[in-house]
Chain A
Amino acid sequence: MSLDNETVKNIANLARIKVGDDKLYHLAGELSAILSWVEQLNAVDTEGVEPLASVVDVTLPLRTDVVSDGDCRDKVLANAPEVEDGFYAVPKVVE
Chain B
Amino acid sequence: MTKLTDLTISAARDGLNGGDFTAVELTEAHIVAMEDARGLNAFITETPDIALERAGESDGRRKAGAAVGAMDGIPVAIKDLFCTEGVLTTAGSHILDGFTPPYESTVSGNLRAAGSVMLGKTNMDEFAMGSANITSYYGNVINPWKGKDGKDLVPGGSSGGSAAAVAGRLALAATGTDTGGSIRQPASFSGIVGLKPTYGRCSRWGIVAFASSLDQAGPMTRSVRDAAIMLGAMAGHDPKDSTSAPVEVPDFEAALNGDIKGLRVGIPKEYRMDGMDPEIDKLWSEGIDMMKDGGAEIIDVSLPNTEHALPTYYIIAPAEASANLARYDGVRYGLRVDGDSLDEMYANTRAEGFGDEVQRRVLIGAYVLSAGFYDAYYRKAQRVRRLISNDFKKAYESVDVLLTPTAPSAAFAIAEKMDDPVAMYLNDVFTVPASLAGMPGISVPTGLSHQGLPLGLQLIGKPFDEETLLKAADVLEAAAGFDGRPA
Contacts and interface: CB of A to CB of B under 8 A. Distances in A.
A44 B364 contact: no
B262 interface: no
Interface in A60-95: 60-61, 63, 72, 75-76, 78-82, 88, 90-91, 93
28 contacts: A11-B370, A15-B365, A31-B367, A34-B314, A34-B360, A35-B364, A37-B314, A38-B311, A40-B311, A41-B384, A44-B305, A46-B380, A49-B383, A50-B386, A51-B382, A52-B385, A55-B213, A55-B389, A75-B102, A76-B102, A76-B332, A78-B100, A78-B102, A79-B333, A82-B336, A88-B331, A90-B342, A91-B345
Contacts of A17: 347, 350-351, 354, 359, 362-363
Given A3-B367, A31-B367, 10 more contacts: A17-B354, A18-B344, A27-B360, A38-B381, A55-B437, A61-B239, A79-B332, A80-B331, A82-B336, A90-B331
Contacts of B213: 53-55
B39 interface: no
Interface residues of A, number: 49
Contact of A38 (B333, B345, B377): B377
The 5 closest A-B pairs by CB, nearest first: A55-B438, A51-B382, A81-B336, A46-B383, A79-B333
B201 to A, nearest CB: 11
A41 B242 contact: no
A16 B363 contact: no
Interface in A1-48: 3, 8, 11-19, 27, 30-31, 33-35, 37-42, 44, 46
Contacts of A41: 308, 311-312, 315, 380-381, 384
Contacts of B295: none
Nearest to A14: B366
B347 A79 contact: no
Given A15-B322, A90-B342, A52 B315 contact: no
- Max count, chain B CB within 10 A of own CB: residue among A13, A46, A53, A80: A46
Nearest to A12: B363
A81 B385 CA distance: 40
B102 A51 contact: no
B322 A18 contact: no
Chain B interface, DSSP helix/strand/loop, else mixed:
helix
A91 B338 CA distance: 8
B191 to A, nearest CB: 30
A60 B437 contact: no
Contacts of B343: 16
Contact of B345 (A46, A54, A90): A90
Contacts of A76: 102, 332
Interface string B354-398: 100001101111110010000001011111111101000000000
B347 A34 contact: no
Given A60-B242, A63-B239, A79-B334, A72 B102 contact: yes
A83 B108 CA distance: 29
A31 B366 CA distance: 12
Given A8-B363, A76-B102, A52 B347 contact: no
Given A11-B370, A51-B379, A31 B363 contact: yes
Nearest to A52: B386
Contact of A19 (B335, B342, B351, B463): B351
Nearest to A53: B382
Interface of A: 3, 8, 11-19, 27, 30-31, 33-35, 37-42, 44, 46, 49-56, 58, 60-61, 63, 72, 75-76, 78-82, 88, 90-91, 93
Contacts of B239: 61, 63
Contact of B383 (A27, A52, A72, A81): A52
A59 to B, nearest CB: 10
A39 to B, nearest CB: 8
B350 A15 contact: yes
B366 A56 contact: no
Given A15-B363, A52-B385, A55-B438, A88 B332 contact: yes
Interface string B166-200: 00000000000000000000000000000000011
A40 B385 CA distance: 14
Given A31-B367, A81-B336, A44 B387 contact: yes
A91 B366 contact: no
B258 interface: no
Contact of A27 (B363, B384, B422): B363
Contact of B199 (A3, A18, A56, A79): A56
